[in-house]
Amino acid sequence: MSEILTSDILKAAENAEAVIENQRVEALLKTGALQKAILNSANFSSIATDEKGVIQIFNVGAERMLGYTAAEVMNKITPADISDPQEVIVRAKALSDELGTPIAPGFEALVFKASRGIEDIYELTYFRKDGSRFPAVVSVTALRDAHDLIIGYLLIGTDNTARKQVEAEQKKLDQRLRDHQFYTRSLFESNIDALVTSDPAGIITDVNKQMEALTGCTRDELIGAPFKKYFTDPERAENAIKRVLSEKKVTNFELTACARNGKETVVSYNVTTFYDRDRNLQGVFAAARDVTELKRFEQTLQKTNAELEIAKTGAEKANLAKSEFLSSMSHELRSPLNAILGFAQLMELDHPAPKPEQKDRIDQILNAGWHLLSLINEILDLAKIESGQVPLSMEPVSLAEMMLECQSMTDPIARKYGIEMIFPLFEPLYFVSADRTRLKQVLINLLSNAIKYNLKSGKVVASFAQISPGRMRISITDTGAGLSADELSQLFKPFQRLGQEAGGVEGTGIGLVVARQLVELMGGEIGVESKVGEGSTFWFELNEVAAPEAVLAVNSTLQANQLGNLNPKRRQNLLYVEDNPTNMKLVEMIISRYPQIQLLKATDGNMGIEMAQKNLPDVIIMDINLPGLSGLEVLKILKADPKTSYIPVVALSANAMSSDIKRGMLAGFFRYLTKPIVVIEFMDTLNTAFEYSNHSAGR
C-alpha cells in the first residue's frame, strides 16, 4: 500500500515539474518574441554596444533612420562616430561642469550618466550615411551582468525632426504674436488722448500712459480698479458705462477726472463697445481728451472777440494735426488693400472663369475694396485741402487730351450701368490753366456721378464753351432724376448724399466737396443746374490760356516714334524689388500669366542693385519704402551706372500722395504706379516699359 502511494506522489511531482518547465519555456519564447519585435521595430533605433562603446546591435529602425546596414557598423564604430562632434564636445563640457569631473568628448560623454546609474535622456544630432543630419531624442541605459558589472550600453533613439519643425513654427507664431502685441501696444500708447478699456462691469482692464498722467496712478494701480473711482462724480462716470452698453456708442461725454494729487481735469469722453472675433461683448473702450483749456476758452469767448480768435486758432491746429495723421496713415491703409484688390482681380481673371456664384463674391470684394480706396483717397484729399497741404503745379492743359483720358477711364463704368457716353471733338485745341492731376480728378468725379446717378439706359454728355474771353466752361449733363431746390442747397457739403446712402449706389459724400475746393484752388468756380425729372448739369469754369508753342512739334515726334509691340521671339526679363512678401506674391501671380516674361525678385535695395547689374533686366519695378536703401536711392545708383542707366524703372508704392508721385517722377522713374494695383493698368504700364526698353536697345 505504501509503495503504491509513493509511486503516485512521484508521478504527481513529475507532472508538476513538466508543467512548470512548459510555462518557463513559454515565458522565454514570449520574452524572446518581444525582444525580437523591439529589435525589429522601424519606429525607433536600438543601438547596443559593448562596454567600450563598439556597436554590437544595430536594429531595423537604426538602419532606416541612419542609412547604414548593421554589417557596416557592428564591431567597427561607436555611436559617437555618427553623432555631431560639436554637440558631443558641448555635452562633455556641460557634464564636466555639472558633475565636477573631467569627461572627455566622445562615447564617454554619451553614456557617462548611464554608467553612474543616472537616468539620461537627451537631444542629439545624428549623421546619416549620405551626410544628411536629423535631430533625435536618445535614451541611454547601461547593460549589466548578473554581478552588476557593465557589459555594454543600449541607446534608443527617435527621430525628432517633426517636433523640431513644430517648435520652429511655434517660435515664428510666438514672434508674430509678440510683434503684433508690440504694434498694438505702440498704437495704443502713441495716442494723444487718455485711453482706457474696462469689462462690462466697469472694471478697468487696460490704460495708456496718457491715462496714467491724467490720474497720477500707475498702470498696475489702475488695472482692476473701478472706472468710476477716478472722477469727481462717480455716479455719472458709472452711467457712462451703462449708457454705452445700451447705445453701443457715446460721444463727447464730459467728466471731471480727479488725480491722486487732487488736480481736476475736464475731459471729453468718446466711448464704444468692443467685441472678440466671435462677436462676444468684451467690454468698453473710452478715449478721453483734455478739454480743460477748451472749456476755459468757451467761458472767456463770451467776453472778447480776441479770445474767440484764439479758440479758432486752436481748432485749426487740432484740424491740422488730424490731417497730418490721416496723411501719414495713407501708406499703411493702402498696403493691405493692395493684397485684397490685387488677388481679387487675379481671381476675376482666372482661366477657366469663375463660376457665377464665385464671380458674384469676387465682385462684392472688388466693389467693397474700390469703394474703401475711394473713401481713403477722398478723406485724405479733403484733409489736405483743409490744412492747406495741396501743392498745385499749374500749367497749360489740353482739354482734348484730358477728355480722351477721362473717356477711356469712364467708358467701362458707363457700360456697366448701360449708360451712353457722348464726348465732343475738341477742335481747335483749347488749353486751360490747371494742375493736370487735379483737373482729371474733378472730371472723373463729375463723370462718375453722372453715370452712377443716371436713369437706366440714360445718357451723359460732356461739352464745353468759351463763355467769355479767357474763360472756359466744362459741363457734364446727365439724364437722371434731377435735384430739387432743397437738395441743391445741400450739395457740396461733406458726407451729404441726399438720401442715396440708403440706395444701392456706393459713395462717400466727399467727392463734390473735394472737387469744389480743387476748382477754386485752380482759380475757377463750380456750379450745378437741375430740374426734377429732367436731369442735372454740373459745370466748372477755368481760365483759358494759349497753347504751348512746342505742342504740335511734340505730337509729331510722338507719332513718328511709336514703339513696336513686345517681341514674342524674345523672353523679357522683369526685376521686382519689394520687401513685402504679400506684394511680391501678388505680382508673381500676375506675371505667371505671361510666359514670355521672366520675373526676377529682390527683397531689398542692395540686392536689387546687385541683380540689376548682373542680369541687366529689360524693366525694373521698384518699391519706395525698402529696408536699408530706399527705392529713390536705388534708382539714383542705377541711373549713375552706364550699364543700367537705360533700364526703365517703374515705381510701385503705397506712397500715393501727389507730392510723392511728383518727387518720384522728378527722380527719374519711368512711371509711378500706386498701390493697390489695378491689374490692367499695371500690365499696360509694363507693356509700355518693355516697348521702350526694346526700342532703346534697338530690338
- pLDDT, one tens digit per residue, over 130-161 is 999 999 999 999 999 888 899 999 999 988 88
pLDDT of residue 154: 93
Same domain, 481 and 614: no
Q: Which residue has the higher pLDDT, 433 or 350?
A: 433
Q: Does 540 have pLDDT greater than 50?
A: yes
Q: What is the pLDDT of residue 501?
A: 46
- Between strands 45-50 and 133-144, the pairing is unpaired
The answer on 588 and 544 residing in a single domain is no
**Higher pLDDT among residues 349 and 453, named by residue:** 453
pLDDT, residue 2, reads: 58
**Residues 536, 455: Cα–Cα separation, whole Å:** 12
CATH code for the domain of 624 = 3.40.50.2300
Distance CA 418, CA 413 (A): 9
Residue 8: the pLDDT is 65
Residue 103's SS3 state is coil
Q: Bridge partners of 253? A: 269
Residue range 286-293: mean pLDDT, rounded: 82
What residues contact 612, with CB distance under 8 A and at least 6 apart? 575, 620, 638, 644, 647
673 pLDDT higher than 80: yes
pLDDT range class, residue 374, cuts 50, 70, 90: low
pLDDT of residue 328 exceeding 80, the answer is no
What is the pLDDT at residue 499? 47
> The domain that contains 412 carries what CATH number?
3.30.565.10
* pLDDT tens for each residue of 203-250: 998 988 888 888 888 888 889 989 888 888 888 888 888 888 888 888
More confident residue, 308 or 416: 416
319 compared with 656, residue with greater pLDDT? 656
| CA quadruple 270, 275, 277, 279: dihedral sign | negative
Residue 329: per-residue pLDDT: 65
In the listed set 549, 577, 602, which residue is the last one of a domain according to the structure?
A: 549
Q: Is the pLDDT of residue 477 over 90?
A: yes
- Which residue has better confidence, 6 or 33? 6
pLDDT at 549: 59
Interatomic CA distance for residues 323 and 228, integer angstroms:
33
Please indicate, yes or no, if residue 414 is contained in any of the structural domains.
yes
- Quickly state the pLDDT bin for 561 (edges 50, 70, 90): very low
In a domain, 148, yes or no: yes
Question: Alpha-carbon distance 332 to 328, whole Å?
Answer: 8
Which of these ranges, 354-363, 472-481, 488-497, has the smallest mean pLDDT?
A: 488-497
Asked if residue 552 has pLDDT above 60, the reply is no
Residues 544 and 615 in one domain: no
Mean pLDDT of 46-70: 92
Of the listed ranges 194-198, 287-291, 648-652, the least confidently predicted one is: 287-291
Longest dimension (CA), the chain: 155
Do the domain assignments include residue 174? Answer: no
User: 106-126, pLDDT tens digit by residue?
Assistant: 999 899 988 888 888 999 999
Q: What is the pLDDT of residue 1?
A: 56
Does 206 lie in the same domain as 110?
A: no
Residues 567 and 430 in one domain: no
Whether residue 72 sits in one domain with residue 107: yes
Provide the pLDDT for residue 130.
Answer: 93
How many Å apart are CA 26 and CA 79, to the nearest integer?
35
Work out whether the CA dihedral 395, 401, 406, 409 comes out positive or negative.
Answer: negative
Q: Is the confidence at residue 475, as pLDDT, over 70? A: yes
Q: Quick one: pLDDT at residue 250?
A: 81
**Residue 369 domain-assigned?**
no
Residue 37 in any domain: the answer is: no
Share of the chain above pLDDT 70, in %: 80
Identity of the highest mean pLDDT range in 270-284, 506-520, 611-625, 653-667 = 611-625
Question: Residues 599, 637: one domain?
Answer: yes
What pLDDT band is residue 128 in, cutting at 50, 70 and 90? very high
pLDDT in the model for residue 362: 76
Q: In what order do the strands lie in the sheet with 120-127?
A: 55-58, 45-50, 150-159, 133-144, 120-127
Please answer whether residues 561 and 538 qualify as being in contact, where contact means their C-beta atoms are separated by less than 8 angstroms. Answer: no
Question: Does 94 lie in the same domain as 73?
Answer: yes
Establish if 417 belongs to a structural domain. yes
> Whole-model pTM?
0.37
Please tell me whether residues 524 and 572 are part of one structural domain: no
Please say which residue of 241, 259, 290 terminates a domain. 290
pLDDT at residue 562, rounded to an integer? 35
What CA–CA distance (Å, rounded) separates 240 from 238? 5
Element (H, E) at 177: helix 161-190
Between residues 557 and 292, which one has the greater pLDDT? 292
Would you say residue 37 has pLDDT above 90? no
- Which of 195-204, 374-383, 386-395, 689-698 shows the lowest per-residue confidence on average (mean pLDDT)? 374-383
Residues 573, 535 share a domain: no
Domain count, the chain: 4
Would you say residue 32 lies in a domain?
no
Question: What are the angstrom distances between the C-alpha of 311 and each of 296, 308, 321, 648?
Answer: 10, 5, 15, 52
- Residue pair 301/308 in contact (Cβ under 8 Å)? The answer is yes
Name the residue range of residue 101's domain.
45-159
- What is the arithmetic mean of pLDDT over 459-463? 90
pLDDT band at 558 (very low <50, low <70, confident <90, very high): very low
What does the pLDDT look like over 88-106, one tens digit per residue?
999 999 999 988 999 989 9
Candidate from 8-17, 56-65, 428-437 with smallest mean pLDDT: 8-17
Q: Provide long-range contacts, Cβ within 8 A and 24+ apart, for 258-264.
A: 258/215, 258/230, 258/231, 258/232, 259/214, 259/215, 259/216, 259/217, 260/215, 260/216, 260/217, 261/216, 263/216, 264/232
| 202, 95: one domain | no
DSSP structural state of residue 509: S
Residue 65 pLDDT greater than 80, yes or no = yes
What's the whole-number average pLDDT of the chain?
Answer: 81
CA distance 648 to 316: 43
Statement: residue 607 has pLDDT above 80: yes
Residue 72 domain-assigned (yes or no): yes
Q: How far is CA 374 from CA 167, 198, 367, 370, in A?
A: 43, 35, 10, 6
**Final residue before a domain boundary, out of 549, 577, 608:** 549
Sheet holding 619-622, edge to edge: 597-602, 572-577, 619-622, 649-653, 671-674
CATH number reported for the structural domain that contains residue 90 in this entry: 3.30.450.20
DSSP states of 625-683 as a string? S-SSS-HHHHHHHHHHSTTTTTS-EEEEES--SHHHHHHHHHHT-SEEEESSP-HHHHH
Confidence of residue 389 (pLDDT cuts 50, 70, 90): low
The dihedral region occupied by 161, where left means phi > 0, alpha psi between -120 and 50, and beta the remainder, is alpha
Asked if residue 523 and residue 418 are part of one domain, the reply reads yes
